[in-house]
Chains A and B, each alone.
Chain A
Amino acid sequence: MYNDLTFTIKNDEVDASIKLACFTYDNIYYEIRAVVVDGSVDNTATLQECKDLLELNAQWDKTV
């Protein structure tokens, strides 16, 4: 699921040391902390974090 999901990286507007993965899904814009390893964004792990967030939200949407 979420196979077409892609994200971009940006720095937090106030704290530029924080890297955020940004993506839009179902007309909702998301930002989530990117997974950083040795100073570089781990794209695979970050994408999985994005998918996990959507999956978690989807589970809640079924009941809330």
Chain B
Amino acid sequence: MAVPTSGSISMRGIFSEKNEDDYGAANMDGETGLSLRGLSSNSYSDTSSGGNINLNTGYASSASGGANLVNAPYAISEFRGYDHDAVVTNTTATITSGYAHYITSGPRGSTRIQFSKGYVGPSPAPGLSAPPSGSISNSNIILTGGTLGVITSFAHYTVGPGGAVYFRLIIYNTSASANSGFTNVVLTQTALSNTLTLARTSAFSFAYSSSNNTRTWLWYYAPTTSGYSNTVYGSVSASGFTSKLFGDFNTGSGTDSNPRTTAVFS
């Protein structure tokens, strides 16, 4: 039982919530000398007889005091709603894309556009440079079923000169190796309202590297694949061929000025 959101509340109950996830038990568990500063801050002991109990990392979203809970002046009232065993989730990462587009030679004098866009995207072809890394926020994905891991790359890039594309997701996690952990990831280009759902089970391939502690999923779309037109603008042989999901609608190389892509995991 979390700290009540209304009515009177006690430091004894708050300690009990932190100590055994049960405000109502109001159990001191043999300890003495409660400290409001200790209850509020991970830098001080909760009691004079015992040590510190760290707050749930999601305290700011459950306690009424929000992020200010841990800052002086401390207040008992700021603990209203605090739930010590609340499961903290983070389902959404936001990406500011790095990008690179290249005009390469195709058959019979034609040209082909190859690109790579996203966060830490690879070179779109051997001999071409990888794009700038871009950046990501909220990269540590935590779902209700557990921690998926930290996104170390999420990018969209061409595979060969025919216009086929990969979406590549790399997740770092020292305690997970299986092809599991999420059902879907929904990519949205927020400024253009383009959306694409990538199902884990529809991935073209999965790879696990024990030396790097990374899991890599690849999704493959060829021009003949259903839904291909939801992934790119234009055609491979014309300028303007680029990702619909990652970054601005642009050409050339560089880093977007704004975050444009969200990746929502479920």
Q: Which residues of B contact A53 (CB under 8 A)?
A: 205
Q: Which of B159, B179, B201 contacts A56 (CB 8 A)?
A: B159
Q: Does A3 contact B (CB under 8 A)?
A: no
User: Do B179 and A20 touch across chains, with their CB atoms under 8 A apart?
Assistant: yes
Q: Which of A15, A29, A32, A60 contacts B201 (CB 8 A)?
A: A15
B126 touches A32 (CB 8 A): no
Q: A19 to nearest B CB, angstroms?
A: 11
Cross-chain contact A29 with B177 (CB below 8 angstroms)? yes
Question: Could you mark each residue 207-232 of chain B with 1 if its beta carbon is under 8 Å from any beta carbon of chain A, else 0?
Answer: 11111000000000000000000000
Chain A residues 13-28 with CB under 8 Å of chain B are 13-15, 18, 20, 27-28
Say yes or no for B178: interface residue by CB 8 A criterion. Answer: yes
Task: Give how many A residues have a beta carbon under 8 Å from the other chain's beta carbons.
Answer: 20
B-side interface size class: 20 to 34
**A63 on interface, CB distance cutoff 8 Å:** yes
Q: Which secondary structure characterizes the binding site on chain B?
A: loop
Contact A64 B122 (CB under 8 A): yes
> Contact between A30 and B205 (Cβ–Cβ < 8 Å)?
yes
- The answer to whether B126 and A62 have CB atoms under 8 Å apart is yes
B126: chain A residues within 8 A (beta carbon):
59-60, 62-63
Task: Give residues 177-211 of B contacting A (CB, 8 Å).
Answer: 177-180, 183, 200-201, 204-211
B123 on interface, CB distance cutoff 8 Å: yes
Across the interface, which residues of B come within 8 angstroms of A27, CB to CB? 209-211
Q: Can you name 20 extra interface pairs (CB under 8 A) apart from A28-B208, A30-B205, A63-B126?
A: A12-B179, A13-B180, A14-B183, A18-B201, A20-B206, A27-B210, A27-B211, A29-B207, A29-B208, A29-B209, A31-B206, A32-B204, A32-B205, A32-B206, A33-B204, A59-B126, A60-B126, A63-B128, A63-B130, A64-B122
